[in-house]
Amino acid sequence: ELQQYEHYMLKEIMEQPEAIKRTLKGRLTEDGVAIPELEGFLHSRNLQSFEKIMIVGSGTSYHSGIIGKKILDSLIEIPVEVAIASEFSCEHSTLTDKHLVIVVSQSGETADTLSALKEAKKYGTPTIAITNHWKSTLSRQADCTIYTYEGQELAVAATKAYTSQITGLVLLAIVLAKQMNGRGVEQIPVLLDALHSLSEDVEKCLIMTQDAIDQFAQITNDQEKIFIVGRGSDYVLALEGALKLQEVAYIHADAYAAGEMKHGTMALITPGIPVIALATQHHLREKTVNNIKEMKARDAYVVGITTIGDDSISSVVDEVMYIPEAHPLLMPILAAIPLQLLAYYAGCVRGYNVDRPRNLAKSLTVE
Which three-class secondary structure state does DSSP give residue 136?
A: coil
Active-site position among 121, 178, 287, 362: 362
The DSSP H or E segment spanning 215 is: helix 198-219
Report the site for ligand F6R in 154-173 (rule: CB under 6 A).
157-158, 161
Which residue number, 131 or 281, has a Cβ lying nearer to ligand F6R? 131
Query: Do residues 291 and 235 lie in contact, with contact meaning Cβ atoms separated by under 8 Å?
Result: no
> In sequence order, what DSSP letters do the residues of 270-319 get, joined into one string?
-TT-EEEEEE--GGGHHHHHHHHHHHHTTT-EEEEEEETT--SSTTTSSE
For the bound state, the minimum distance from the C-beta of residue 113 to ligand F6R, rounded and expressed in Å, comes to: 5
- Amino acid at the residue 73: D
Binding piece for ligand F6R, criterion CB under 6 A, among 103-111, 172-180, 204-212, 289-297: 103-111
Q: Which is nearer to ligand F6R, 158 or 339 (CB)?
A: 158
The one among 16, 23, 86, 113 contacting ligand F6R by CB under 6 A: 113
Q: Is 110 an interacting residue with respect to ligand F6R (CB under 6 A)? A: yes
By CB under 6 A, residue 185 contacts ligand F6R: no
Instruction: Report the residue number, 154 or 364, with the smaller CB distance to ligand F6R.
Output: 364
- Sequence-separated (6 or more) residues with CB below 8 Å from residue 325: 307, 308, 309
CA distance 33 to 197: 15
274 bridge partner residues: 301
Whole-number minimum distance, CB 188 to ligand F6R, in Å? 27
Considering only residues 107, 167, 209, 233, which one is a binding residue for ligand F6R as defined by CB under 6 A?
A: 107
Q: How far is the CB of 211 from ligand F6R (least distance, A)?
A: 23
- 11 flagged as catalytic: no
Least separation in angstroms between residue 143's CB and ligand F6R is 18
Radius of gyration of the chain measured on its C-alpha atoms? 20
Spatial distance between the Cα atoms of 148 and 61, rounded to a whole number of angstroms: 12
In the complex, the smallest distance separating the C-beta of residue 104 from ligand F6R, rounded to whole angstroms, is: 7
347 binds ligand F6R per the rule CB under 6 A: no
Whole-angstrom distance, CA of residue 24 vs CA of residue 201 = 14
As a whole number of angstroms, the distance between CA 41 and CA 169 comes to 16
CB of 243 to ligand F6R, least distance (A): 6
When asked if residue 56 is in the footprint of ligand F6R (CB under 6 A), the reply is no
**Does 148 help bind ligand F6R (rule: CB under 6 A)?**
no
Q: How many CB atoms lie within 10 A of CB 258?
A: 28
Closest Cα partner for 149 from 201, 96, 108?
108
8 Å CB contact between 70 and 232:
yes
Contacts with 260 (C-beta within 8 Å, 6 or more apart), sequence order: none
Q: Does 247 bind ligand F6R (CB under 6 A)?
A: yes
**For the chain, how far is it from start to end, CA to CA, in angstroms?**
32
59 forms part of the interface with ligand F6R (CB under 6 A): yes
Site residues (CB under 6 A) for ligand F6R, limited to 249-268: none
328 binds ligand F6R (CB under 6 A): no
**What is the spatial distance between Cα 144 and Cα 140, in angstroms, rounded to a whole number?**
8
User: Under the criterion CB under 6 A, does residue 106 sit at the interface with ligand F6R?
Assistant: yes
Neighbouring CB atoms inside 10 A of 39's CB total 12
Site string for ligand F6R, 277-316 (x = CB under 6 A): ----------------------------------------
Nearest to ligand F6R of 266, 364 (CB atom): 364
Question: With binding defined as CB under 6 A, does residue 364 bind ligand F6R?
Answer: yes
- Nearer CB in complex with ligand F6R: 60/306: 60
Rule CB under 6 A: which residues touch ligand F6R?
A: 58-61, 105-107, 110, 113, 157-158, 161, 243, 247, 364
Active site residues: 362
